[in-house]
Structure 1
């Protein structure tokens, strides 16, 4: 039975914007053309110039009016640049930016107790998360840009003729007066005028321009994080910009010259007080109302309405992708079969330029002011900066050696995670997770349970493990013996046979379970151990076995550098390392090798997981073709069947097997 409420519209934008239509549908509205009856609803977009058609018809037909607006966290790029919204405001009373009559948000702020402890705790934690991750309404800015020298006054520009400014009765004269007030009240400070994101992109003009710049006034018309600007500001001046709301979240008490939703609650210095707003609120109460209770949020991966936390997951993933990729990439040494997948993941802003010659790639990178990427295992020692690319830790359902495309990749500007000879970004991230925020710990634990519950590992291939009985069951994972992690981090033991022999010598009474690497099993890479040698050291050889189902039945993992050691840690198994994998040296493993002495931090397991699976990799959703958070890839891997390969892929895989000793040719 269709219980959707009819929502009539007379604005072509509702017809063109598929995302808006979908969110309204999920919220229980059926967009409809025609004339409404009593009790139906009419949709208008905020206070757009054509709102009057909808208003007139709603009044004439005695229908309700629903004002639709973008939510306060919208997207990476503005709508005029093509990005659809991640949330909407559906207001039956008014517009949040028009204080002439109360809207739904103002009614919440006036009348809701806003005293729920869990709600306010969630609000405080989410404010910290938004600040730490530089999330704003629009997010097409870099976080590595240096802000102006601290001690300035921040004056926020807005787009010319915006509906929010019309509602506040603000125009060019009012903006000039605001700038004059900032100069008068801070005569010894420099003034930074921050241009609007749409002005920077050339979509709409603002009220200030380069003509307003002087020796002490600077027009900042480049994308930069608002949170960086707030850190260095001694005062913030705004007419009605959402950045004024963000300034409150950053700890400022902004000077507000218009009448936005966040004015009048004791958190701003209001030059145009609003009648009826007499309540004093905390910033957590303001945030809870405006960001949690008021909007509806959308999950584009699962096509459903969602919580604010899910939108932050989305924005963090998509903003990171834009910040990494918007300058464009030159990629060197990438195999032909990998290029379409790299293009999908890293080429959304600008298509990747592929080169085979490193010198030419470096020249192209410099000439076009693009970043340079290389496949890490093919370029281990570089004398110049480059970003190293490798498969992520929740890669796929199927092997890379069989040309299964990855759902996660890592892009490391410092080094690469498996090579302990130099620091990597992952190593830095692990060190930084000694103190996680409560929401980060909660997310890491949820992810750990999801990964364990779904039995996920890197490749998610093989048959369910048969039952293994006995006490002290030690899993010894085989590795590819010419793999870069063995060549750079294995230590004294560098072969699978030497590993098996050492583990048996150290554990004569244990049950030793040897699992060959799947690439070696498929005869695609080096590392096979003769049967007579495995029989001498291992009680069982587990071929074509899914590690996810195997890890639940063992007690310990002894390894050189295998990722199975990390996967065992997630399941609270004892892990002994002979080499120096990325997860060794932090106090979570028993290390018989020589991890770098610089690993002095002592994160807990959730810190290691957060850095390794949440913060470090890039994830790609094969369904929506969008950058995504790790939880989406967990869902996709949990839903999907093993990849089925075309005859061409199978032939190429066999050719790779024939060339296993020449892996550099095809890797």
Structure 2
């Protein structure tokens, strides 16, 4: 059969002759075809060659004519059903392709490879169908569709409406179904007849909204109770509120099936005729009844060739979904633009790369001017979390928990950042977005929990942490016994100032750990920023409480050798949890209070959930941060950053960075540096 899951990438390369310049000028399309086993050529095909055409585009006749003359088979190429964030006419490359040697999926005149899959493939493999069900849920959870330039938070109409889906003029799938404007008018008439008195919404196509192509409905087609819906709302929310769905051949009809509808279909798209639609133009050869999971497995897992833009390879549906979810999240959060405050000069270029890809970030430190600029330009406000006082409407920004290979204090740019609209993760005095994610994490679907388990295993196997600084090995001759690691912190760190009460210094932490564990082996590891001379927190008499002071040692090697960690609020407590260590908290870090740590500080009454470690890790490492790939310059899933950190394909601190960091720290009393 066809598709990435059937190992199309392993086929012997075949020459593919093309007569449409798009195959030559669009690098992503060329690359997917090459990875799928096709060698793109110009000229005259031989008996063992194929001719490539783009679906049934206006230029496809050229290739079809050559193929007829040379008796060469045709490969029809189309965008996959999850295409991109923006419509194709906006210039964004596709995330995958449909490569069909029999026909094209939207044309019922011939049986396409997809139709053969739907008709003949057993579609009874339990693992495949489990993937399909998880995929359906994932698309709904992340609000992914063919195009994704909409805001899931945008309000939908009140539920109870009938949804009539418009399509663009000249749509090849409409022509292939022998439909025209009259078909759309008939569909609207039937919707009104079937649902007298109901509110009817005509959903405008995204390309019509963008001004690329017109639709089939006109203002004069409206009547009482019928209106256009042109707001860029989530198709998933829109379908959830509908009582009926009418379509000619739109992919949204397929999405309506996945949402639990049995749409009324006036054309002959690939998804009609399988017992899941109400067909006004039946196709007699389609007699098989399928479940939603079976249709999804064929159309989304087996049929497409999905592409991984980060690793330059073909990939699974799941990997493609994670890539599109990361890029869609970035567009949805950034497309209106940001006014950023509290960002020191060296941070601005990295922040521009992450948050300014769709509209440049404007930097303005004064709270009143930032608010005015945001209102005037329709932007949102962000502020570095430690500078948030006075910026009441702003999102707080901070480093994520897989940050870089090197310190922020050494001016190494981050690979992950968090945007928090409620508070910030290190301040337990108010609820944060991370806290809300952790509270909800026991309800994660199994596939997402499994993803977090895989991530934990990868992090521990690759020995990755927040900063990934290469340190020295452990000193020889460490005492045997029950070993407790006490990680030092920067003492003016915001997490200490907001998340501790009685124990607020490294010396007090060491003393408390020794008092509670007189017979244990206490190992004290100073914070890297303190060791580097960039921040406060040195303990001159640490040997009074610690059996050994581990200067400049490798953090992960240190964790490997201990049984427990005692901390105020250090992220090393979270990293210790990931590695199966017991953790005692004398402050209130984000990972305390959930039943996974021994909490000696005042409890946080909001934290009532009891997540597993994987669920906590999902919230902290997958759901909360945004990740930036330094190789492609794209928003990416966490797994890509893990790859980059493991491979060393990330920015590293230079000597100039270190000198600049020290100079600015001295000039500003070190108060300007990030935490």
TM over 0.5, yes or no? yes
TM-aligned CA deviation for residue 645 of structure 1: 3.6
Q: Does 1:268 pair with 2:267?
A: no
Out of 488, 491, 502, the residue aligned to residue 512 of structure 2 is 502
Match of 2:579 in 1: 571
Q: In structure 1, how many angstroms separate the alpha carbons of the residues matched to 2:159 and 2:652?
A: 57
Match of 1:416 in 2: 424
Q: In structure 2, how many angstroms separate the alpha carbons of the residues matched to 1:158 and 1:603?
A: 45
The answer as to whether partners of 1:156 and 1:194 remain within 8 angstroms in 2 is yes
Q: Give the match's secondary structure for 1:31.
A: strand
Q: Does 1:593 pair with 2:619?
A: no
Match of 1:201 in 2: 210
Match of 2:325 in 1: 316
TM-aligned CA deviation for residue 662 of structure 1: 4.1
Out of 285, 292, 296, the residue aligned to residue 287 of structure 1 is 296
Q: In structure 1, how many angstroms separate the alpha carbons of the residues matched to 2:72 and 2:650?
A: 53
Q: In structure 2, how many angstroms separate the alpha carbons of the residues matched to 1:642 and 1:256?
A: 50
Structure 1 residues 616 and 481: CA distance shift in structure 2, 3 A: same
The answer as to whether partners of 2:383 and 2:391 remain within 8 angstroms in 1 is no
Q: In structure 2, how many angstroms separate the alpha carbons of the residues matched to 1:186 and 1:121?
A: 36
The answer as to whether partners of 1:39 and 1:62 remain within 8 angstroms in 2 is no
Match of 2:403 in 1: 395
Match of 1:227 in 2: 236
Q: In structure 1, how many angstroms separate the alpha carbons of the residues matched to 2:407 and 2:439?
A: 30
The answer as to whether partners of 1:333 and 1:358 remain within 8 angstroms in 2 is no
Q: Give the match's secondary structure for 1:122.
A: helix
Structure 1 residues 88 and 489: CA distance shift in structure 2, 3 A: same
Match of 1:462 in 2: 470
Q: In structure 2, how many angstroms separate the alpha carbons of the residues matched to 1:394 and 1:428?
A: 20
Q: In structure 1, how many angstroms separate the alpha carbons of the residues matched to 2:660 and 2:674?
A: 10
Q: Please, what is the CA RMSD of the aligned residues?
A: 1.5
Match of 1:120 in 2: 129
The answer as to whether partners of 1:464 and 1:550 remain within 8 angstroms in 2 is no
TM-aligned CA deviation for residue 395 of structure 1: 0.1
Match of 1:17 in 2: 26
Structure 1 residues 230 and 364: CA distance shift in structure 2, 3 A: same
Q: Could you report, residue by residue, the CA deviation over 1:383-438 in whole angstroms, capped at 9, with x for unpaired residues?
A: 62110000000000000000001000001011000000100000000001012211
Match of 1:357 in 2: 366
Q: In structure 1, how many angstroms separate the alpha carbons of the residues matched to 2:292 and 2:498?
A: 50
Match of 1:305 in 2: 314
Q: Does 1:525 pair with 2:535?
A: yes
Q: In structure 2, how many angstroms separate the alpha carbons of the residues matched to 1:552 and 1:211?
A: 72
How many residue pairs are counted as aligned between the two chains?
Answer: 664
Match of 2:120 in 1: 111
Most deviating of 603-612 and 358-367: 358-367
Match of 1:430 in 2: 438
TM-aligned CA deviation for residue 60 of structure 1: 1.2
Q: Give the match's secondary structure for 1:280.
A: coil
TM-aligned CA deviation for residue 471 of structure 1: 2.2
Q: Does 1:376 pair with 2:414?
A: no
The answer as to whether partners of 1:524 and 1:656 remain within 8 angstroms in 2 is no
Q: In structure 2, how many angstroms separate the alpha carbons of the residues matched to 1:2 and 1:128?
A: 32
Match of 1:664 in 2: 672
Most deviating of 200-209 and 243-252: 200-209
Q: Does 1:630 pair with 2:638?
A: yes
Q: In structure 1, how many angstroms separate the alpha carbons of the residues matched to 2:559 and 2:395?
A: 33
Match of 2:481 in 1: 471
Q: In structure 1, how many angstroms separate the alpha carbons of the residues matched to 2:190 and 2:37?
A: 47
The answer as to whether partners of 2:665 and 2:673 remain within 8 angstroms in 1 is no
Q: In structure 1, how many angstroms separate the alpha carbons of the residues matched to 2:483 and 2:18?
A: 66
The answer as to whether partners of 2:441 and 2:619 remain within 8 angstroms in 1 is yes
The answer as to whether partners of 1:106 and 1:261 remain within 8 angstroms in 2 is yes
TM-aligned CA deviation for residue 133 of structure 1: 1.3
Q: In structure 1, how many angstroms separate the alpha carbons of the residues matched to 2:439 and 2:650?
A: 35
Structure 1 residues 470 and 657: CA distance shift in structure 2, 3 A: farther
TM-score calculated relative to the size of structure 2? 0.96
Match of 1:47 in 2: 56
The answer as to whether partners of 1:397 and 1:641 remain within 8 angstroms in 2 is no
Q: In structure 2, how many angstroms separate the alpha carbons of the residues matched to 1:570 and 1:233?
A: 43
Structure 1 residues 487 and 661: CA distance shift in structure 2, 3 A: farther
Q: Does 1:556 pair with 2:564?
A: yes
Q: Give the match's secondary structure for 1:664.
A: coil
Q: In structure 2, how many angstroms separate the alpha carbons of the residues matched to 1:363 and 1:323?
A: 22
Match of 2:619 in 1: 611
Q: Could you report, residue by residue, the CA deviation over 1:170-203 in whole angstroms, capped at 9, with x for unpaired residues?
A: 1111101101110111012101111111111111
Q: In structure 1, how many angstroms separate the alpha carbons of the residues matched to 2:205 and 2:446?
A: 33
The answer as to whether partners of 2:524 and 2:546 remain within 8 angstroms in 1 is yes
Query: 5+ unaligned residues in a row in structure 2: which ranges?
Result: 1-9
Match of 1:86 in 2: 95
Q: In structure 1, how many angstroms separate the alpha carbons of the residues matched to 2:64 and 2:185?
A: 34
Query: 5+ unaligned residues in a row in structure 1: which ranges?
Result: none
TM-aligned CA deviation for residue 6 of structure 1: 0.6
Structure 1 residues 29 and 93: CA distance shift in structure 2, 3 A: same
TM-aligned CA deviation for residue 121 of structure 1: 1.3
Q: Does 1:72 pair with 2:81?
A: yes
Most deviating of 420-429 and 131-140: 131-140
TM-aligned CA deviation for residue 275 of structure 1: 2.0
Q: Give the match's secondary structure for 1:557.
A: strand
Q: Give the match's secondary structure for 1:433.
A: helix
The answer as to whether partners of 2:631 and 2:649 remain within 8 angstroms in 1 is no
TM-aligned CA deviation for residue 628 of structure 1: 0.2
